[in-house]
Amino acid sequence: MTDRNTAQLIPREVLFGNPDKASTSISPDGKKIGYLAPVDGVLNVWVGPADDPSSARPATDDKGRGIRFYVWAYTNDHILYIQDKEGDENWHLYSVDLTTNQTKDLTPLEGVHAQIQQVSHKMPHEIIVALNDRDPQFHDLYLIDIKTGERRLIQKNDEFAGYITDDDYNIRFAMRMTPDGGSEVLRPTAKDDWELFIKISMEDMLTTSPIGFDKTGRLLYMIDSRERDTAALVALDLDTGEQRLLAQDTQADVSGLMIHPTEKTVQAVAFTHERKRWQILDSSIEEDIACLHGVSDGDVEVVGRTLDDRCWIVAYAVDNGPVRYYRYDRATKDAQFLFTNRKALEGLPLAKMHPVVIKSRDKLDLVSYYTLPAAFGDEPKPGTPLPMVLLVHGGPWARDTWGYDPLHQMLANRGYAVMSVNFRGSTGLGKAFINSANYEWAAKMHDDLVDAVDWAIDTGIADPERVAIMGGSYGGYATLVGMTFTPDLFACGVDIVGPSNLVTLLESIPPYWQPQIEMFTMRVGDHRTEEGRAFLVERSPLTHVDRIEKPLLIGQGANDPRVKQAESDQIVAAMQEKGIPVTYALYSDEGHGFARPENRLSFFAVAEAFLAAHLSGTCEPIGDAFRGSTIAVPAGVEQVVDLDTAMTGHTSKG
């Protein structure tokens, strides 16, 4: 590897440790600012005066996994956050009284999955919460007092996947799936029944849905792909039935909205093809947006607004540096810099991310992103082909986007080219693109990944003898597919919480996903029929485990409710039975992915040592990366350089 492909080694701690500050927000009255920041290495919510963020203090006292999501209550004196237990996704909802520093569990129920349904400025002391405490498959709606915790059932649910409520806490619509993989939107009748309001075909199901109301409650906003390919924003007058198109793009679906905090009018709409762009609908914010574009480099995102809409929290995202946060006063047009989310990234040799559209073998546009080592700057090619890591996103009904990505940065810093591909089935690029993936797991969806690798080889970016495949969830499945269906293409693979058997995957989904089972059976395969099971078995990497020829690393959370530990256990056991080497990292306190930074750092320490051995890249030594981690290696400790040494004497935390 040439000197140009190497650079100052960026420590894993900088890339995968806790951020300094994240999820910055402002209280509805504009007097307080909140953000996530570590306390003794654990992410908590901090709150301080909006005009003096440096004096913020911790408002929560989580000592375990760290808080990842919170919102302000409209009392201005309460923070609401959710937390599960060791990755089981049985979320509890907590309320923190900022005046008394008291925390109350609003959903003190074991084995129950809580979801925030609605928080309204009209009802500042109460929120609607969805709970599956009565029936694990269905979420009833409760009105909960955030001060006292008093809970009152307002909607019993025996059939619906979810509800649409308004700011007056009226239940306006219910949604359910149909046997053909489509969905129905129903509205309540005067006789306490439900009537069909909108029927959505399977082809439109993932790209059409109601999203909310204007201030009057008589205008319904919808994301709608019916009679078009890409999902547009439309407004439906509930009194007259008139539908009006507000915004659309011929290449991309709606990917974001700016909505006035009290008028509830949509002021701007985002569309993301290769990069995100905003279409302004409300002229009253044009001057503000123009002003913000002159403040800092990067893609502008308004991430918080006061109820009077005078103050905004604005984030600027780039591909090769930290997020920059500002507090913007609309009256004075003054943007006050607050902080970045990771100060340690400032000044480091971070790499640029290149968007590119690659043609699949059947002529689909695959919106992709690749990163080269920072020494190449803006150059689109390295001159000499590099070892490459193909990073496959999860979902699969999700997508990759342009911007800072810690895995891209770590791998590029270690001398690799890195490629992410929006293969067919990825969202945001029209319904035809999504639907072209139906029944194509391990088939055309994988062909798209292969086509992107071939493109990278043909353009001189990737060394064909040194390409790895890596991903989590669906990306983990894609990794296992790569190792079994195209074993000659990849030099090694890293599978994180990936399913190995599609039959057992679908048989073991969480009960609260059961109302949506037709989405899986109509797009992946039907495990309930003999023919469907045979199809799924053929598309399962476990069936073809004897084809694996190259080294494989697997990471799994023991409490994963989506892709259960058995998915990794069974392919590891099958490989061991056939004498095929595999390294297996298991975490007793994790679920679907690695939430605790100690566990992230330990796994990526193993992963980069594994990749360095098989792609001839550089790596930061494992060292003390296992400190505080629950990593266990039940198989293949001898397969990764220095892993046995690192595990010697290591005692898993917890």
The CATH code of the domain that includes 439 is: 3.40.50.1820
* Same structural domain, 142 and 236: no
374 and 251 in a common domain = no
The answer to whether 404 and 388 are in contact (CB under 8 A) is no
Q: Is residue 414 part of a domain?
A: yes
Q: Which residues participate in catalysis according to the annotation?
A: 473, 560, 592
Query: What's the whole-model pTM score?
Result: 0.96
Instruction: Check: CB of residue 623 under 8 Å from CB of residue 420.
Output: no
pLDDT on residue 2 = 41
In a domain, 24, yes or no: no
Residues 458 and 586 in one domain: yes
- Predicted confidence at residue 191, as pLDDT, reads 86
Domain contains 195 = yes
Say what the pLDDT of residue 1 is: 39
Do residue 574 and residue 496 come from a single domain? yes
Q: What is the pLDDT of residue 192?
A: 85
The answer to whether residue 172 is domain-embedded is no
- Regarding whether 556 and 436 lie in a shared domain, the answer is yes
Residue 299 tokens read as: 């893609």
298, 318 contact by CB (below 8 A): yes
Find, among 510, 535, 511, the residue nearest to 522 by Cα. Answer: 535
Sheet holding 417-421, edge to edge: 353-359, 365-371, 417-421, 386-392, 462-472, 492-496, 552-557, 583-587, 631-635
Residue 286 lies in a domain: no
pLDDT attached to residue 190: 87
Look at residues 113, 140, 158 and tell me which one is the last residue of a structural domain. Answer: 158
Question: Do 551 and 605 fall into the same domain?
Answer: yes
Residue 272 pLDDT: 97
In a domain, 401, yes or no: yes
Number of helices (H) and strands (E) in the chain: give both, helices first: 12, 36
Domain shared by 136 and 246, yes or no: no
Q: What stretch of H or E contains 359?
A: strand 353-359
Low-confidence ranges of the chain (pLDDT < 70): 1-7, 652-654
Q: What is the bridge-based pairing of β-strands 162-165 and 417-421?
A: unpaired
Question: Is residue 557 assigned to a domain?
Answer: yes
What gap in Å lies between CA 348 and CA 327, rounded to an integer? 26
Residue of 461, 455, 454, 453 whose CA lies nearest to 380: 461
**Do 490 and 367 reside in the same domain of the chain?**
yes
Domain count, the chain: 3
Assess if residue 516 is contained within a domain: no
Domain around 191: 187-275
191 in the same domain as 154: no
Q: How far is the CA of 310 from the CAs of 77, 220, 429, in angstroms?
A: 19, 26, 34
Report residue 323 as tokens.
């997020």
Whether residue 405 sits in one domain with residue 270? no
Select from 239, 257, 275 the last residue of a domain: 275
Rounded CA separation 167/178 (Å): 28
320 within 8 A of 327, measured Cβ to Cβ: no
Residue ending a domain, choose from 275, 294, 320: 275
Query: In this structure, are 371 and 444 located in the same domain?
Result: yes
194 and 143 in a common domain: no
Give how far Cα 653 sits from Cα of 42, 333, 596, 631, Å.
Answer: 14, 50, 11, 8
Element (H, E) at 38: strand 32-39
